[in-house]
Amino acid sequence: MPKSPEASTPHGAPPEYVSAAEEFVGLVCLGFIQNILGRIRTMVMGMLFLFVAAALSVASYPFDPRPVLGAMFLGVFVVLAIIVVSVYAQMHRDATLSNITNTNPGELGSDFWTKIIAVGAGPVLALLTAIFPQITTFVVSWLQPGVQAIK
C-alpha cells in the first residue's frame, strides 16, 4: 500500500507540495518587490542626474541672483538627501528585505554608508560648483577627459 505524502514527512513539517506552493507565491512576491525597488532606484538616479545637470548649468553660466540660486540648490539638496537616505535606511532595516539580501535586519552597516557616500559624491560636487563658482574650472578639468573619451 503506497504511503500518503503526509505520512512520509516528519511530524509537524508541511508536505513537499505545500513547500513548493509557498516558494512559488514567494517568488511572485519577490518579483513584485524587485520591480518596485527598480522603479525607486530609477527615480533616485533621475533626480540625481537632473540635480547635477542643473547645478553645473548654474555654475557654467553667469545667472544674475547667484547667491539666491546657491541657497535654493542647497535647500533642495538637503531636502532630497534627507528623503532619499531615510527611505533607503528604512528599506535596509526591513526584516523581509534583509532576508532577501542576506543582511542583518535593523542594522545600517558600512556597506550601506559606503553606497550612500558614493552616490552622494556627484551631487555634493555639483552643489559646491553652484555655490562657489571659483571651483567650476577645477571640476570641469576633471570631467573634460571623460567627455573627450565619450566623443
Give pTM, 2 decimals: 0.73
How confident is the model over 61-120, as pLDDT tens digits?
Answer: 888 888 898 899 999 999 999 999 999 899 888 888 888 878 888 888 888 899 899 999
Angle between helix 136-150 and 16-60 (nearest 10): 120
Give the number of other Cβ atoms within 10 Å of residue 97's Cβ: 15
Does the pLDDT at position 1 exceed 80?
Answer: no
How confident is the model over 11-49, as pLDDT tens digits?
Answer: 778 888 888 888 888 888 888 988 999 999 999 999 999
Does the pLDDT at position 140 exceed 70?
Answer: yes
| pLDDT in the model for residue 49 | 94
Q: If DSSP codes are grouped into helix, strand and coil, which group holds residue 43?
A: helix
| pLDDT in the model for residue 13 | 83
Residues 6+ apart with CB under 8 A from 93: 105, 106, 107, 108
Q: How confident is the model at residue 8 (pLDDT cuts 50, 70, 90)?
A: low
126, three cell numbers: 555639483
Structure letter (DSSP) for residue 9: S
| pLDDT in the model for residue 2 | 53
% of the chain surpassing 90 pLDDT? 31
Residue boundaries of the structural domains of the chain = 14-150
